[in-house]
């Protein structure tokens, strides 16, 4: 039990990588807050966890809204007394638009979900972590946060920002027992593609060229194992960095 009695919040936990992380965390002894914008999906995950003997609860949240973030952290503390691990997994794609075709609306929506939410949840849990001089943050970045051709301009910029924010947070609070790391998944089989609308043909065509060197598609469960490592004491000396999980795609 690598996370025995730890209290973990996982955003976007109703499906995909978030679901896999929440499920694995619960299996390893954590009390998991399954947060998602889709109540039915979140309830299904919680039921599966409970059926397998784990402890979990649902807290609905649209991470793009500050009031939802406040309630998410506040209600978790009210229910479990504290927060030990925060996993910022919620995210959306853009439409593969290059810079000339990005609209303000798309840019602002992608950044609200992918980047601003990470700052807000982190800002809200830090007083809790600082009080006990202990806490872990795991951000789900992307290969798109390390390279330029994995998505459109808005998504790429938003995930680069997450990487920078992760490194800054890890460094700033390293002496207070707080660790902040990120995972940069490559191509993983999830339903994030459902968030893509109005796909840009030019941008998608440019992005597609790199898929030819992708060794394979990953699974959510494979990413969850990395998140377990980062969330547990096994990674006690790992801080302010990004673990790339892409089967070697970016090694070329």
pLDDT, one tens digit per residue, over 61-74 is: 999 999 999 999 99
pLDDT at residue number 192: 75
Is 1 a domain residue?
no
Residue-averaged pLDDT of the chain: 97
Query: CA-based diameter of the chain, in Å?
Result: 51
Contact partners, residue 25, CB within 8 Å, separation at least 6: 3, 6, 8, 10, 32, 85, 87, 227, 228, 231
Residue 2 lies inside a defined structural domain of this protein: no
**CATH code assigned at 168:** 3.40.50.720
Enzyme catalytic residues: 155
194 pLDDT exceeds 80?
no
pLDDT band at 199; cut points 50, 70, 90: very high
Q: How many domains does the chain have?
A: 1
* Phi, psi of 3, deg, nearest 5: -125, 30
Decide if 230 contacts 132 (C-beta within 8 A): no
Residue 102 has pLDDT above 90, yes or no: yes
* 198: helix, strand or coil: coil
Range of the domain at 111: 7-251
What is the sign of the dihedral through the CA atoms of 56, 58, 64 and 67?
A: negative
Paired strand residues for 180:
137
Residue 29 lies in a domain: yes
Phi, psi of 20 (to 5 degrees): -65, -40
pLDDT at residue 34, rounded to an integer: 98
Spatial strand order in the sheet of 85-88: 55-60, 31-36, 7-10, 85-88, 135-140, 178-185, 242-245
Q: How far apart are CA 18 and CA 74, in angstroms?
A: 20
Tell me what pLDDT residue 97 has. Answer: 97
Report residue 110: phi and psi, to 5°: -65, -45
Residue 178 in domain: yes
| Angle, vertex CA 156, rays to CA 249 and CA 84, nearest 5 | 85
């Amino acid at each position: 039990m690598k996370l025995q009695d730890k209290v973990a919040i996982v955003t976007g936990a109703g499906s995909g990588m978030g679901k896999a992380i929440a499920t694995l965390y619960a299996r390893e002894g954590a009390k998991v807050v399954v947060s998602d914008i889709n109540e039915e999906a979140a309830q299904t995950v919680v039921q599966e966890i409970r059926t397998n003997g784990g402890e979990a609860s649902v807290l609905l949240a649209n991470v793009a809204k500050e009031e939802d973030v406040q309630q998410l952290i506040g209600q978790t503390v009210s229910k479990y007394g504290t927060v030990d691990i925060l996993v910022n997994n919620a995210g959306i794609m853009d439409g593969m638009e290059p810079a000339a075709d990005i609209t303000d609306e798309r840019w602002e929506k992608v950044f609200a979900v992918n980047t601003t939410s990470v700052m807000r949840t982190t800002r809200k849990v830090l007083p809790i972590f600082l009080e006990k001089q202990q806490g872990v943050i795991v951000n789900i970045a992307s290969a798109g946060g390390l390279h330029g051709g994995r998505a459109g301009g808005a998504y790429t910029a938003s995930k680069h920002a997450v990487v920078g924010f992760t490194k800054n947070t890890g460094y700033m609070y390293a002496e207070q027992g707080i660790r902040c790391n990120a995972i940069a998944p490559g191509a993983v089989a999830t339903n994030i593609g459902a968030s893509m609308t109005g796909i840009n043909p030019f941008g998608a065509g440019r992005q597609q060229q790199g898929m030819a060197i992708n060794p394979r598609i990953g699974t959510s469960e494979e990413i969850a194992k990395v998140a377990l490592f980062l969330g547990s004491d096994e990674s006690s000396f790992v801080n302010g960095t990004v673990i790339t999980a892409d089967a070697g795609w970016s090694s070329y």
